[in-house]
Homo-oligomer: A and B are copies of this chain.
Amino acid sequence: MSLFVPKPYENAPKTTEEAIQLCVMANRILSNEGVLDAFGHVSIRNPENPNTFFQSRSLSPEMVTAEDVLELDLEGTVLTKTDLPPYGERIIHAAILKARPEVNAVFHGHPHPVIPFSSAGVPIRSVAHFGALFCDGIPLYDDYDVSSGMIIVNKEEGERLARVLGQANAVLMRDHGCCVVGENVPHMVMGAIYLRDSAAIQLQTLALGQPKYLSYEESRAAAKVMTSTVAMERAWSYWVSRAKRAFPDL
């Protein structure tokens, strides 16, 4: 067995083709790790054109292949010539990628452990160093257009959500789920997985006693460690390896 060497392009795809491959991988990883199920989606900014992004057509994440990936602009218009319908909530990704030029990857989903916090209005705080990615806090969105049925499908609501997110790395959506952003795909994937895990652990800690949360300084330093190249490569190669075992077509 040859030694594992992470592909250097993975943190920063240079071509649209690499970005599409990375989009497929993120969909499969997040399905395989139980963060996405039938619903939810990811997006990745086009490395060749910052005004467009890639995202699957309307399809469950674990079924996404390269042929399913569409190119969209920052208004959410599909640029790919196709009859395949896009996600209704692509507007979330368009709005966030527009508002946050340094963000290159966005997750939206409904991991179960985050929903209680979104519903009870209890802030998610770090009880573990791997939850420190969100050291700047996680705001709560609760400004729905009632008629849209708790999903974000019009431009105005997408912009409201992006405003509530602000400069944070994640936003909770009341009785719905969350969004997580990253500078690159592995950051976003790590954020989505560890927000879920962190919320689950915080729930249990609150049942046990008074948590001693990470202080702001501890969180900042821990976030730096978690997003270092060495940590990102370790985690990314682990998730890829598990996804490939689960999905032999990868």
- Are A175 and B212 closer than 8 Å at their CB atoms? yes
Q: Which residues of A26-51 have CB atoms within 8 Å of chain B's CB atoms? A: 37-39
- Are A225 and B149 closer than 8 Å at their CB atoms? yes
Which of A10-18, A72-80, A95-103, A125-133 lies at the interface? A125-133
* Alpha-carbon distance A4/B112, docked complex (angstroms): 27
Top 6 nearest A-B pairs (CB, nearest first) are A120-B209, A149-B225, A149-B221, A60-B238, A129-B150, A116-B205
Q: Kindly list chain B residues whose C-beta atoms are within 8 Å of the C-beta of A238.
A: 37-38, 60, 62-63
The number of chain A residues touching the other chain, given as a range, is 35 or more
Where the two chains meet, the residues of A that have a C-beta atom closer than 8 Å to any C-beta of B are 1, 3-4, 37-39, 58-60, 62-63, 65, 67-68, 84-85, 88, 110, 112-113, 115-117, 119-122, 126-130, 132, 142, 144, 146-151, 174-177, 197, 200-201, 203-215, 217-218, 221-226, 230-231, 234-235, 237-239, 241-242, 249
Q: Kindly list chain B residues whose C-beta atoms are within 8 Å of the C-beta of A62.
A: 238, 241-242
* Alpha-carbon distance A128/B215, docked complex (angstroms): 31
- Are A214 and B175 closer than 8 Å at their CB atoms? yes
